[in-house]
């Protein structure tokens, strides 16, 4: 009987821990948020490590079978329809989700000019150094003198936002603004830049406890013409102030 006591005790303790863990996960009581945050970060770090180590995975990202590859709907290429009387004639600035470049295209489909730059050359932030195979320009703005402002994203990272980079007509870097900028930007008449950014958050908002953690919160970054941050405006705070005038959101939790 004594021989069975120790194994049974160990099994009982293990089963108790299992039941306790299941209770914490299902009810999301303390210390669920700490455990969940750690788990998410460990999984993300491990997946990123595997991707960094596997050169073939990076190289095939955009190829058939890769994460972002989809077959073309038709075999047609170039300009397939052009009716001058119905078109808004001029040049079109085009960026693709699978390339670090922007092209200026004429109405007949000819490339008039091209800007390109491989990020992350001389990258300043080693903690979030993008992988070239998964970096693309999501949006771009061209200036009258041929300078171009590109919004760069990293498909292999969360948040996907990467940076803003301004280059001249010969694709030489003028400045970089490193932040989680994503999807869209606007350049005002005075040269001030307004760009969306997002950031991982691990605290809940009073009144919005149903929002799962971790979550991505958006902000609007106001950037000077020479690439310096002027201020950031939290979209969450704007939304909260609209629903509860005069109040700031209350963040709580881990």
How do the domains of the chain map onto residue ranges?
2-53, 85-252
> What is d(CA 249, CA 204) in angstroms, rounded to the nearest whole number?
10
Residue 61 — pLDDT band, cuts 50, 70, 90? low
> What is d(CA 58, CA 68) in angstroms, rounded to the nearest whole number?
11
Asked if pLDDT for residue 248 goes beyond 80, the answer is no
93: three-class secondary structure by DSSP: strand
- Tell me whether the omega of the peptide bond preceding residue 31 falls within 30 degrees of 0, making it cis: yes
User: CB of 226 within 8 A of CB of 212?
Assistant: no
Residues sharing a CB contact under 8 Å with residue 7, sequence separation 6 or more, in sequence order: none
Query: Taking residues 233-249, what's their average pLDDT?
Result: 70
pLDDT digits (tens, 9 = 90+) for 138-197: 999 999 999 999 999 887 777 888 899 999 999 999 999 999 999 999 999 999 999 999
Q: What are phi and psi of 59, to 5 degrees?
A: -65, -30
Q: Please give the C-alpha separations between residue 250 and each of 107, 203, 237, 241, in angstroms, as whole numbers.
A: 52, 9, 10, 11
Whether the full predicted model's pTM is greater than 0.75, yes or no, is no
What is the reported pLDDT for 135?
Answer: 83
pLDDT digits (tens, 9 = 90+) for 135-144: 889 999 999 9
Asked if pLDDT for residue 215 goes beyond 90, the answer is no
Q: Please give the C-alpha separations between residue 225 and each of 92, 171, 192, in angstroms, as whole numbers.
A: 23, 18, 5
Query: Taking residues 1-21, what's their average pLDDT?
Result: 71
Residue 223 — pLDDT band, cuts 50, 70, 90? very high
Asked if pLDDT for residue 77 goes beyond 80, the answer is yes
């Amino acid at each position: 009987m004594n021989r069975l006591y120790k194994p049974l005790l160990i099994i009982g303790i293990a089963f108790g821990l299992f039941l306790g863990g299941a209770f914490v996960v299902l009810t999301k009581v303390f210390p669920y948020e700490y455990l969940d945050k750690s788990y998410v970060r460990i999984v993300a770090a491990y997946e990123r490590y595997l991707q960094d180590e596997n050169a073939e995975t990076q190289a095939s990202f955009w190829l058939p079978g890769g994460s972002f590859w989809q077959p073309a709907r038709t075999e047609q290429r170039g300009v397939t329809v052009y009716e001058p009387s119905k078109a808004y004639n001029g040049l079109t600035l085009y960026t693709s989700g699978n390339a670090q470049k922007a092209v200026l295209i004429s109405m007949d489909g000819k490339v008039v000019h091209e800007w390109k730059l491989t990020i992350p050359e001389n990258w300043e932030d080693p903690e979030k150094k993008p992988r070239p195979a998964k970096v693309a320009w999501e949006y771009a703005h061209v200036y009258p003198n041929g300078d171009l402002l590109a919004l760069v994203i990293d498909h292999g990272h969360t948040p996907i936002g990467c940076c803003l980079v301004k280059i001249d007509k010969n694709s030489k870097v003028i400045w970089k603004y490193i932040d989680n900028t994503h999807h869209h930007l606007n350049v005002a008449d005075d040269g001030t830049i307004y760009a969306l950014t997002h950031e991982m958050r691990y605290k809940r908002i009073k009144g919005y406890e149903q929002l799962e953690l971790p979550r991505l919160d958006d902000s609007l970054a106001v950037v000077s013409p020479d690439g310096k941050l002027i201020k950031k405006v939290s979209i969450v705070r704007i939304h909260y102030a609209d629903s509860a005038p005069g109040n700031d959101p209350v963040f709580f939790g881990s």
